[in-house]
Structure 1
């Protein structure tokens, strides 16, 4: 069974382990520390991009450089993944630290930068901020998202404002907490904030059994749901699972399995046959986001709703989005792709699952993919191409690839693998 490891590495889980880190602010205290809105402004709308269920927004750093950051409810502190930018910005590194993180490494290195200024669209500005700068680009967001994304931001924003995420129109509405008024159509879901992380209760169903789990709400994870076997021994998980790489954390690949639950229910919302990620014992929880309890609920569920995070009142408001009834689908090709090239213009096959459609037509790890059904990284996004590979069982896929300087054209049909 383990020979099949590695079908799917696009469920990118950006787990930010700061449990052993306390970052002190060395600012002079003359300016208010943290994010503030412009004077007399009560709300700001911020358009966002979405890649593999992840929210990406522009962040302007030290009034000099604008970079794309992932908005992650599971992130304790802002993180810059490329130290080169930190050096160019002249960030004030006060010390180097080790961080435990999900993946196959035990720890990694980062620098603590203090007194950083970060600005969001609409004039939202944070002064005297702290930021972790990775010593190396462990996440390789460019390769995994196919986009120039260099950072992650979370609690610094969510703790200060009430934030509505309209996944349908791809717009964030950032409110001063006392100015937000929920609509009657919104469902109120109790949410607990523990160690900077939001948690909700969810019912998971498998055949004739129901269990209640407490999951961290993780907008920085692409997956639908993750259940940790080290903390959910009493929960019945799917018997039919597929060995795979669940994604990448700060410390590299996270090995595990993927399967399907019968359903999951949150208050008025019910999702049929959601995909569930199950990390191998010990590979995730030794360094998971602090206190995540029994697992996480990620972007593949959140993006089917329109959600408002109200940390001040411990409430998550939600309504059904346009994708609410969409089926949960997994990569049906069996080939896992990563973006390569200085201009992020090519795709490389990183893994091929045994007995999958891609393997049966002879696609190999290392092949350079130029076109899939006419789509390239010049006329489509990497997210759109991956969505094509999850689209519909039986769909014909035409691949143009290069191997050893030879051009090849191959065809296969998608097949549901789980």
Structure 2
């Protein structure tokens, strides 16, 4: 289920990392502030596959594309090539451990960097640079992605994110303008990540109150890490590869919950992920799950770490139906211009599996339109467009071209 699974695969689990445990963080505070005589700064962003992407410079090099991610406790550079291009004065190596099955990874930790975002000044901001790109964010996004920016961007400022016009407005908390209509909800900031309380109601009307990470970098709507133990699965669910942790895969299930309540807002028929296993028991902060971009983008957000509060104001997408991919395909872009689309996984029993599509098949066209002329988001939208819709795919397989009729199917 690409839109849910593959976004999770590359983002949600990075957000789940206890990235470079807090004992490795520098003693000095790391933060951004406004330039002198400025009270507000507006930063444009691009929304690509539910990722909030801004441009910034590092040590006067760039611009580089970074994902804004409240689930990351330390600035993370995922493109190893940057280590040789941004003139780092000093760096040291350490191990990163996280969720999933596999070995730990190695990363550099830099000395303080000069991060340039128009209108903002960085103070003592350091980063971790992965020695190997384990996530392939550029291939996922169809454009170069260099890293993720999290806690340091939020910890000193009030940050308003408006999805209707793709802007981020930054001010000092005392100068921010709160919403005339909306809801003020308490946050707690723990280990550099924001948490809220939410209430989940299942199809049988049972409900649980959960402590959730507010995670702008998580591609799903809702992840309920303890729900299987507390309540069990919804009656209708599908087995799923929910993503990949920093050290390996995370398996579980997808299903719908009847309602998710946050503050005064009640959101119906939400698709949620249900991880299985006890890997979350090792996290330093006990929590029940993760509130992702699938729900957060339905609001204009004002996030105020210094005052431990978030303001929510519904936008035009508040009542959009939650939908999932109906092809069973996961895929990525490749090539010089990221204009080739390669299948990376086919969900067993899905429409893609039933017509014989396989890993490493290349999708050349959909309904006679070349994928090289489509954005990756246009492709995503076609694969979740309508239950029962038929699509004609041209596929390259073993140096041959085949036409395949794929019938989309809603499974949850």
Q: TM-score range by the shorter chain?
A: over 0.9
TM-score by length of 2: 0.92
Name the residue aligned to 1:393: 387
State the distance in 2 between where 1:250 and 1:189 align: 31
**Maintained 8 Å contact 2:59/2:87:** no
Q: 1:408 to 1:7 in 2, by over 3 A?
A: farther
1:297 to 257, 276, 291: 291
Shift of 1:118: 0.6
**Maintained 8 Å contact 1:185/1:319:** yes
**Maintained 8 Å contact 1:7/1:353:** no
Q: 1:371 to 1:66 in 2, by over 3 A?
A: same
Q: 1:143 to 1:102 in 2, by over 3 A?
A: farther
**Maintained 8 Å contact 2:242/2:252:** yes
Report 1:131-150 matches (<5 A). 131-150=127-146
**Maintained 8 Å contact 1:93/1:111:** no
Name the residue aligned to 1:58: 55
TM-score by length of 1: 0.91
Name the residue aligned to 1:81: 78
Shift of 1:33: 6.0
State yes or no: 1:165 paired with 2:161: yes
Shift of 1:233: 2.3
Name the residue aligned to 1:314: 308
Name the residue aligned to 1:350: 344
1:336 to 330, 335, 340: 330
Shift of 1:249: 3.6
Answer with 231-240 or 135-144: which moved more: 231-240
State yes or no: 1:226 paired with 2:223: yes
Q: 1:252 to 1:117 in 2, by over 3 A?
A: farther
Cα-to-partner distance string for 1:250-287 (whole Å, 9 max, x where unaligned)? 3343222211111111122221111111122034x166
State the distance in 1 between where 2:369 and 2:56 align: 30
Q: 1:248 to 1:55 in 2, by over 3 A?
A: farther
- Match of 1:86, SS state, is helix
- Match of 1:184, SS state, is coil
- Match of 1:116, SS state, is coil
Gaps in structure 2 of 5+ consecutive residues: none
State the distance in 1 between where 2:81 and 2:44 align: 27
**Maintained 8 Å contact 2:22/2:191:** no
Shift of 1:75: 0.9
Q: 1:6 to 1:380 in 2, by over 3 A?
A: closer
Higher helix share: 2
**Maintained 8 Å contact 1:6/1:245:** no
Shift of 1:26: 8.8
Q: 1:362 to 1:234 in 2, by over 3 A?
A: closer
- Match of 1:59, SS state, is strand
- Match of 2:126, SS state, is strand
State yes or no: 1:204 paired with 2:205: no
Answer with 68-77 or 255-264: which moved more: 255-264
- Match of 2:6, SS state, is coil
State the distance in 1 between where 2:18 and 2:38 align: 34
Name the residue aligned to 1:181: 177
Gaps in structure 1 of 5+ consecutive residues: none
Q: 1:252 to 1:118 in 2, by over 3 A?
A: farther
Shift of 1:348: 1.0
Q: 1:17 to 1:8 in 2, by over 3 A?
A: same
Shift of 1:355: 2.8
- Match of 1:387, SS state, is helix
Q: 1:342 to 1:312 in 2, by over 3 A?
A: same
Shift of 1:236: 4.1
State the distance in 1 between where 2:64 and 2:353 align: 38
Shift of 1:145: 2.2
**Maintained 8 Å contact 1:73/1:198:** yes
Cα-to-partner distance string for 1:348-386 (whole Å, 9 max, x where unaligned)? 111222332222222222110122235555433212311
State the distance in 2 between where 1:146 and 1:390 align: 19
**Maintained 8 Å contact 2:185/2:310:** yes
State the distance in 2 between where 1:34 and 1:89 align: 19
Q: 1:352 to 1:33 in 2, by over 3 A?
A: closer
**Maintained 8 Å contact 2:341/2:363:** yes
Shift of 1:219: 0.5
State yes or no: 1:18 paired with 2:15: no
